[in-house]
Amino acid sequence: MGTSSCRYVINAIGRGGETYHTSCQGKQELKKWIEDHQEKLLLNELKITDNHKNPFLKLFSLNR
């Protein structure tokens, strides 16, 4: 899987138990995807990974 070409990876759980896994190139695309799917998602189960974030900072991140 070529996740190095995408910036953000989204893992989410839907209200009906669906699992969503997608990737976005930029912040605008990420925001649009969340807006388009907001009514279907459990927002507290939304996990977004930034592939361009410094790996050292990932260790000390306060996000789950």
2: confidence class by pLDDT, cuts 50, 70, 90:
very low
Note the pLDDT of residue 31. 96
- pTM for this entry: 0.75
Strands (E), 1-64: 8-13, 19-24, 47-50
Check whether 4 has a pLDDT greater than 60.
Answer: no
- Condensed to tens digits (0 to 9), the pLDDT of residues 5-59 reads 789 999 999 999 999 999 999 999 999 999 999 999 999 999 999 988 877 776 7
| Residue 11 backbone phi and psi in degrees, to 5 | -120, 125
